[in-house]
């Protein structure tokens, strides 16, 4: 059965609207610490999660909210968890990097690469207790250099585990360009660990759905793990308040605080010859510029907008869906912000 | 009553539990050969070998436990937990807290520890205090076959992660594999009562968190675990001839500590000697002094622990690990 | 005298050392951006970014130190040492012993630690006691800009592996990056004297293993490190109004402990309160009680530490980390 | 310059004779704990080490003795270290898995895979302090599944480090056949980490030397790391006293202690159905049989014998060399066993 774009769009929209509301709460100071959104990767999450069924498990990274919402976890519980309320999804104990749902067999971790072992373990349990079920590992391109993730791919291969390894490649690990710290190629690497691979445009939810469908069916029928390499962008950069994005958005406001110490430092006696200093400066400037020119700043890469464009031919249904989604999210946050029970 | 060797007893209790509970599975490096007796009874589906990928398979054990299995994950040695400590530090131990108490990871990590057979400093560590520092981990260190089997059974019924430490000097199979290699030309100072002893006909769990008084004594209380218990008992016996009455409390569980038992025996004698094969600083020996002081019990205190990286040379090793000699000296110091 | 922010001071001392010693290099994830001021002064050859491969690059730092460099390896957070603990547990700490004292690994591991900004239990641990358990590691925890710079300089001159822990609540850059994200809508309880303070014109090493008495007091002695020192000072001030005189000893170095200083101050008051943001069990708080008892000093003892996985919710977090409130209660309990 | 077989043979012979003497001491109970010999892998070690010069470094695994001897470390010091004497190479503190020579920049580790980070670090230091120098990592096929080794290959690739990763593939990790726990292929895997690869018959010292020569020159000239996949056998199995080898050597003596508990266990009530039990038994029996039939038991795989055969055409020189080697080793152990200084 081909993907129903309306369903997929509804999933993506739900997550997008939810995360936009979260961003507001974060800016208002109601959410503490780091906050990594999944805005920009919704097509990957939706394309995969829409293929799941009861008994399937998910190992999530530091951007786990989208997957949980799309999987069906109560959004009010998630919102109240992010707010740190005692009746949140995890009683306020986990927070946004440690969202857990036993009911949906979904576990998050803030440790980069830990999704690998977790998905392998979920898949192992599936082999015994829920044959035909699968486990998903969602992680980024940066995680591909974490040993335990590579180990887990090998383990899934030799134990023939029903794991679908989903790499959401946005090209970045915080401020580091992945190409600069990653040798070989991700697909070759997965193959060298015995895992079948497939590559898709992660902005295209249909393409992801198709690839995921095949890989997940393969896993369900005992044919072992697959690695999906899917490309995407993250609109907010690494986390809310990301300095590089702040600079790009407000260069005049943000630059002095960075440029002044930089200039003082480059001028200080003692240290490298000028040539090396300039090379250092070039690195810094290149980073800032690459954020400014980054495709993650380009709304043409927005997976939600892309699928929406194909649905615009049915405007009434589209607006109805969107109104409905917005209402639901408004309702979620109205409930979520209700007084804390004591 | 039956009598069993140390590892034989643990395997026997494990077999009993596996027969009762089909969700118990076993994996680790070389496990098909190392646990071949379980393999031929429970089949290759439940007894698996792994690649040398501790982070992957220990982490997988944690998640498999969350998803309904009861994995027993074996590691070659506690020293090697260094390569995969994340699975314990940031996952197994924290799932229950993170999930608001809604989800647990009942995984048993069975791992050999300890020295005394000349294998050097990367292969003879104890590290129970290091592990016990992490809230959310249960750490068991049996010192006899009966406790080995009983605590294994308790571990398999416990609703959370358990580190089950199996001292290599007590284990007939590990000591042969790593120490003697079936040679008759080497001798190790193996505590007889730890290596072999009576075990029940049918295994019952030994409660987690309950210490056991191996010997009563009115002058000095020695608190210890594992092989240290036997060294302490030897010392106590030797000191008897000097007219010093030494009690020996076997903690059996390092975390959670049996605070009540510790306080009770120390209050009685007013003298506490901790014998700990793990490193001295920032570990079990310090924690025990805190437990006593916190209760407002004042006591004289000394400790006989491993202070440095464990040397390879047998003679240096003997001087470094807690020995009868050092324990006797520690007791005498407390009696001054 | 100049005044500096906490991380600014550390970076400044590091810059001074780098200008003096071309063998000092710096690497870690995102280091080119995070240490951009050092990058533009010392060039991309000495300030490098890494993949998210902590085991590889920390292990490489250890070996590079053995082979003549003085690497400063940065990790994102101490919590993440779980994935690469082997490099510290079995390598950095043991090279000197293994080589019979002939070879050392003078690597500095600079790593943010601590909580108080709502980042949850996998990102706010302290773990200095966990690290200090391993013989052969030096563990530094500065609580002011002056100590931050001075201890960094000392670390860079020390002939062995040093873990340099930089508390995120004191660090202007970490707190902005991870906590506020430049928002003005959030407030954290940042100790002013820890976040900013006077620093010398030219950096001199602050000796490793020397505690510093931040406040003299005759009734109760608080021993602490890092942010705990400031919480203790606040409590001491509050308790003054109740007529209780509280001294505060800042350890500055967790390993090796300044045993003499601890004993001296505790002997004076006879009351020891340990304030430790690291986990309570099997760590620093226990070790301090042992240090005191071993010297035959009897004292009343209590501790205010982190007992469980650190909760995400700010309110729960405040109740879990050592607070002025809990410290005051601890002191009053000791005065009863 | 092509390899001088006489020199290579001398290196290999020295190591072989030394380790045979060590085996005797071990059997006599003068060496404690585990003892992993390098007998069978001498061609790999010699072919690589003969390419090294001052300033080069080596990261060694649990079979480090051969490399140290061939590199020039005083064999008396090594022997006295293995005996645990206070004037041994490491003062008796390290022992056979922790042999260190600062002079030769050689460090061992008993942690499987730790050679990767160590060699990367040595190579990093070489880049700054000893340009043109290289670092070798010696490890086994089992180590290829250890995350930190894979991470290190990637690091060496992206930092362009002068590392030569040498995998001595004997097909086994203790009692585990590597093919059964290793997905993909080792060369593909290294390539997926950005490292160039070469494969040789590790029993053929000339082939190893050639491959090593090219790879090491590449590294010296700043062209980055290479992975060598070299096949070999280990005559003693994993360690001295290895149970599988004991069974193969003395089946009648060794089998009862294994077979009796096995039979009792397979017959015990409770547990798997007969089919699974038999599958379990098949696994055990297959392991034992594969040890018996193992190529590691076949002297045709002996790299020392192979190179010797090609030198037999000059018998006088050969016997002179062998006599000389034997004398030297006898002398080494005579000195090594001299009284311990106190
Ligand atoms: C083991 C570990 N190392 C470092 C970090 C810090 N960290 C958090 S997210 C991140 C970048 C991850 O990049 P990627 O996997 O590409 O995911 P993305 O953020 O781009 O979605 C890093 C380095 C961590 N959380 N865990
Ligand atoms: C991290 C770690 N895990 C497990 C072990 C136990 N161990 C020692 S050697 C070995 C097998 C290594 O196999 P391989 O790398 O192929 O080397 P070989 O012994 O075959 O030369 C194992 C599992 C260890 N020393 N370190
Ligand atoms: Mg990324
Ligand atoms: Mg091998």
What tens digit of pLDDT does each residue of C203-225 get? 999 999 999 999 999 999 999 99
Q: Estimate to the nearest angstrom the gap between the alpha carbon of B166 and the chain centroid.
A: 5
d(Cα A239, Cα D251) in Å, to the nearest integer? 64
Mean pLDDT of A326-341: 90
Torsion from C-alpha of D185, B62, C168, C215, nearest 10 degrees: -130
The answer for residues whose C-beta is within 8 angstroms of residue B250's C-beta and 6 or more apart is B143, B147, B211, B212, B213, B214, B224, B225, B229
Q: How many A×B Cβ pairs under 8 Å?
A: 130
Question: Pairing mode, if any, of strands D57-60 and D106-108?
Answer: parallel
Which residues is D227 bridged to in the sheet?
Answer: D165, D197
Residue C167, both tokens: 């508390």
Residue D340 pLDDT class (50, 70, 90 cuts): low
Average pLDDT, chain B: 98
User: What is the sign of the dihedral through the CA atoms of C125, C129, C135 and C140?
Assistant: positive
d(Cα A59, Cα A195) in Å, to the nearest integer? 18
Mean pLDDT of C277-300: 97
Residue among C48, C59, C102 minimizing CB distance to D148: C59
Residue C266, both tokens: 């505790």
Q: Which residues surround ligand 3, an ion (CB under 5 A)?
A: A 140-142, 170, 172
> What is the pLDDT at residue A97?
96
The answer for residues whose C-beta is within 8 angstroms of residue A138's C-beta and 6 or more apart is A44, A45, A48, A58, A59, A60, A61, A63, A64, A67, A115, A166, A168
d(Cα B66, Cα B104) in Å, to the nearest integer? 6
Digit-coded pLDDT (tens) for D167-180: 999 999 999 999 99
> What is the pLDDT at residue A339?
74
In chain C, the percentage of residues whose pLDDT exceeds 90 is 99
DSSP code of residue A115: H
> What is the pLDDT at residue A2?
63
Residue among A90, A116, A148 minimizing CB distance to B99: A90
Reduced to 3 states (helix: H, G, I; strand: E, B; else coil), residue C280 is coil
What count of other Cβ atoms lies within 10 Å of the Cβ of residue D222? 12
Pocket of ligand 1 contains residue A181 by CB under 6 Å: no
Residue A340 pLDDT class (50, 70, 90 cuts): low
> What is the pLDDT at residue D298?
79
In chain B, the percentage of residues whose pLDDT exceeds 70 is 100
The answer for residues whose C-beta is within 8 angstroms of residue B228's C-beta and 6 or more apart is B275, B276, B277, B322
d(Cα B25, Cα A84) in Å, to the nearest integer? 37
Ligand nearest to the CA of A98: 1
d(Cα D311, Cα D308) in Å, to the nearest integer? 5
Mean pLDDT of D104-116: 98
CB contact under 8 A, B36 and D92: no
> What is the pLDDT at residue C300?
98
| Cβ burial, residue B221 (10 Å; 0-12/13-18/19+) | buried
- A20: Cα within 13 Å, side-chain hemisphere: 13
Residue among A93, A110, A265 minimizing CB distance to C123: A110
Residue D23, both tokens: 């085996």
Digit-coded pLDDT (tens) for A93-106: 999 999 999 999 99
What count of other Cβ atoms lies within 10 Å of the Cβ of residue C225? 30
**Site residues for ligand 2, CB cut-off 6 Å:** B 29, 52, 54, 76, 80, 83; D 62-63, 110-112, 139-143, 170, 172-174, 238
Instruction: Identify all chain B residues contacting D143, using CB atoms and an 8 Å cutoff.
Output: 52
Digit-coded pLDDT (tens) for A20-57: 999 999 999 999 889 999 999 999 999 999 999 999 99
Reduced to 3 states (helix: H, G, I; strand: E, B; else coil), residue B309 is coil
A60 has pLDDT over 70:
yes
What's the alpha-carbon Rg for chain D, to the nearest Å?
21
* Angle A7-A10-A16 from CA coordinates, rounded to 5°: 145
- What's the gap in Å between B86 CA and the centre of ligand 1? 15
d(Cα D90, Cα D79) in Å, to the nearest integer? 11
d(Cα D250, Cα D247) in Å, to the nearest integer? 5
**Contact A59/B at CB under 8 A:** yes
A326 has pLDDT over 70:
yes
In chain A, the percentage of residues whose pLDDT exceeds 90 is 87
CB contact under 8 A, D98 and B120: yes
Identify whether the C-beta of residue A149 lies closer than 8 Å to the C-beta of residue A139: yes
Question: Pairing mode, if any, of strands C138-140 and C253-255?
Answer: antiparallel
**Contact D128/C at CB under 8 A:** yes
> What is the pLDDT at residue A341?
63
DSSP code of residue C217: -
d(Cα C226, Cα C321) in Å, to the nearest integer? 12
Residue A12 pLDDT class (50, 70, 90 cuts): very high
Residue D26, both tokens: 């071990």
Pocket of ligand 1 contains residue A142 by CB under 6 Å: yes
CB contact under 8 A, D155 and C63: no
Phi, psi of B44 (to 5 degrees): -65, -15
Which of C11, C17, C43, C124 to probe by mutation at the A interface, max A CB count within 10 Å? C43
Pocket of ligand 1 contains residue A165 by CB under 6 Å: no
Residue A334, both tokens: 């109205």
What count of other Cβ atoms lies within 10 Å of the Cβ of residue C280? 22
> What is the pLDDT at residue C195?
98
Mean pLDDT of D28-48: 96
D296 has pLDDT over 80:
no
In the block, which residue shows the tokens 């004191």? Answer: C170
Q: Which domains does chain B have, with CATH numbers?
A: 2-199 (3.40.50.970), 212-335 (3.40.50.920)
CB contact under 8 A, A272 and C185: no
> What is the pLDDT at residue D1?
58
What count of other Cβ atoms lies within 10 Å of the Cβ of residue A232? 26
CB contact under 8 A, C53 and A145: yes
Mean pLDDT of B105-122: 97
Reduced to 3 states (helix: H, G, I; strand: E, B; else coil), residue A210 is helix
Using N-to-C axis directions, what is the helix angle for C54-66 and D147-158, rounded to 10°?
70
d(Cα C159, Cα B312) in Å, to the nearest integer? 23
Q: Which CA distances in Å does D265 have to A146, B13, B34, B201, C72?
A: 41, 13, 14, 16, 55
d(Cα D300, Cα A1) in Å, to the nearest integer? 59
Residue C304, both tokens: 């205010």
Residue A207, both tokens: 């393409």
> What is the pLDDT at residue D255?
87
Residue D30, both tokens: 């003068």
Residue B37, both tokens: 């007796």
> What is the pLDDT at residue B228?
98
> In 3D, which of B65, D62, C52 has the Cα closest to residue A148?
C52
Which residues is B253 bridged to in the sheet?
Answer: B140
For the residues of A220-256, what is the DSSP string, one character each? HTT---EEEEEE---TT-SSTT-HHHHHHH-HHHHHH
> What is the pLDDT at residue A342?
61
Digit-coded pLDDT (tens) for B204-250: 999 999 999 999 999 999 999 999 999 999 999 999 999 999 999 99
C245 has pLDDT over 70:
yes
> pTM score, two decimals?
0.98
Which residues is B166 bridged to in the sheet?
Answer: B112
Average pLDDT, chain D: 95
Average pLDDT, chain C: 98
Digit-coded pLDDT (tens) for A110-126: 999 999 999 999 999 99
Question: Pairing mode, if any, of strands A106-108 and A135-140?
Answer: unpaired
> What is the pLDDT at residue A287?
84
d(Cα A117, Cα A139) in Å, to the nearest integer? 12
Identify whether the C-beta of residue D114 lies closer than 8 Å to the C-beta of residue D152: no
Pocket of ligand 1 contains residue C83 by CB under 6 Å: yes
Q: Which CA distances in Å does B318 have to A33, B306, B311, B326, C90?
A: 50, 10, 9, 10, 21
> What is the pLDDT at residue C197?
98
B→A contacts (Cβ < 8 Å), by residue, are 23, 25, 45, 48, 50-51, 53, 55-69, 71, 84, 86-87, 90-91, 94-95, 97-103
The answer for residues whose C-beta is within 8 angstroms of residue D148's C-beta and 6 or more apart is A147, B83, C53, C55, C56, C59, C84, C86, D113, D114, D116, D117
CB contact under 8 A, D183 and A151: no
d(Cα B277, Cα B271) in Å, to the nearest integer? 20
Residue B73, both tokens: 């994950």
Tell whether ipTM is more than 0.95.
Answer: yes
**Contact D22/C at CB under 8 A:** no
Mean pLDDT of A319-324: 97
Residues of C catalogued as catalytic: 123
First to last CA, chain C: 43
Digit-coded pLDDT (tens) for B170-181: 999 999 999 999
> What is the pLDDT at residue D341?
63
Residue A223, both tokens: 């044919």
Instruction: Identify all chain B residues contacting A154, using CB atoms and an 8 Å cutoff.
Output: 51, 53, 56
């Amino acid at each position: 059965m081909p993907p129903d774009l309306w369903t997929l769009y509804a999933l993506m929209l739900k997550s997008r609207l939810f995360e936009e509301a979260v961003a507001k709460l974060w800016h208002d100071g109601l959410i503490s610490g780091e906050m990594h959104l999944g805005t920009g990767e919704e097509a990957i999450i939706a394309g995969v999660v829409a293929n799941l069924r009861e008994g399937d498990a998910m190992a999530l990274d530091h951007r786990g909210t989208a997957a949980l919402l799309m999987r069906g976890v109560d959004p009010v519980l998630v919102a109240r968890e992010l707010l740190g309320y005692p009746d949140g999804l995890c009683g306020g104990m986990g927070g946004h990097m440690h969202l857990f749902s036993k009911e949906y067999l979904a576990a998050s971790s803030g440790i980069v690469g830990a999704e690998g072992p977790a998905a392998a373990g979920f898949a192992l349990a599936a082999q015994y207790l829920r044959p035909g079920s699968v486990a998903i590992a969602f992680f980024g391109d940066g995680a591909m250099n974490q040993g335990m993730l590579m180990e887990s791919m090998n383990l899934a291969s030799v134990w023939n585990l029903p794991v679908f390894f989903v790499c959401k490649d946005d090209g970045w690990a915080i401020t580091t360009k992945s190409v600069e710290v990653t040798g070989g190629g991700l697909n070759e690497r997965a193959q060298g660990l015995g895992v079948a691979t497939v590559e898709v445009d992660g902005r295209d939810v249909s393409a992801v759905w198709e690839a995921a469908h095949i890989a997940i069916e393969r896993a369900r029928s005992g044919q072992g793990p697959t690695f999906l390499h899917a490309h995407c962008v993250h609109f907010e950069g690494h986390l809310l308040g990301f300095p590089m994005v702040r600079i790009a958005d407000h260069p005049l406001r943000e630059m002095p605080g960075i440029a002044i110490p930089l200039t003082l430092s480059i001028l200080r006696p003692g240290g490298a010859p000028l040539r090396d200093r300039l090379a250092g400066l070039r690195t810094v400037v290149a980073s800032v510029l690459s954020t400014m020119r980054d495709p993650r700043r380009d709304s043409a890469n927005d997976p939600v907008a892309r699928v929406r464009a194909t649905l615009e031919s049915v405007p009434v249904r589209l607006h109805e869906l969107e109104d409905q989604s917005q209402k639901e999210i408004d309702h979620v946050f109205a409930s979520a912000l209700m007084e804390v029970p004591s | 009553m039956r009598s069993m060797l140390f590892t034989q007893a643990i395997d026997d209790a494990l077999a009993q539990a596996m027969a009762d509970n089909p969700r118990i599975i076993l994996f680790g490096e070389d496990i098909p050969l190392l646990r071949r007796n379980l393999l031929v009874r429970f089949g290759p589906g439940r007894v698996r070998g792994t690649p040398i990928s501790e982070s992957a398979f220990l982490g997988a054990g944690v998640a498999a436990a969350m998803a309904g299995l009861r994995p027993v994950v074996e590691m070659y040695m506690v020293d090697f937990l260094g390569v995969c400590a994340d699975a314990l530090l940031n996952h197994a131990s924290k799932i229950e807290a993170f999930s608001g108490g809604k989800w647990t990871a009942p995984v048993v990590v069975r791992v050999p520890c300890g020295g005394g057979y000349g294998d050097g400093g990367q292969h003879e560590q104890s590290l129970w205090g290091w592990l016990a520092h992490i809230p959310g981990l249960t750490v068991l260190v049996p010192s006899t076959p009966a406790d080995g089997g009983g605590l294994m059974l308790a571990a398999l019924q416990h609703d959370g992660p358990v580190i089950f430490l199996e001292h290599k000097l007590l284990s007939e199979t590990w000591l042969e594999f790593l120490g003697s290699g079936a040679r008759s030309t080497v001798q190790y100072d193996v505590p007889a009562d730890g290596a072999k002893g009576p075990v029940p006909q049918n295994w019952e769990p030994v409660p987690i968190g309950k210490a056991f008084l191996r010997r009563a004594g009115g002058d000095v209380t020695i608190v210890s675990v594992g092989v240290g218990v036997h060294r302490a008992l030897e010392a106590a016996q030797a000191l008897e001839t000097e007219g010093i009455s030494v009690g020996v409390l076997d903690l059996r569980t390092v975390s959670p500590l049996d605070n009540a038992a510790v306080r009770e025996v120390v209050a009685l004698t007013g003298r506490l000697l901790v014998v700990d094969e793990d490193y001295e600083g920032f570990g079990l020996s310090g924690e025990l002094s805190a437990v006593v002081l916190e209760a407002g019990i004042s006591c004289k205190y000394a400790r006989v622990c491993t202070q440095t990286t464990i040397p390879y040379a047998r003679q240096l090793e003997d001087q470094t690990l807690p020995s009868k000699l050092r324990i006797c000296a520690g007791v005498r110091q407390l009696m001054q």
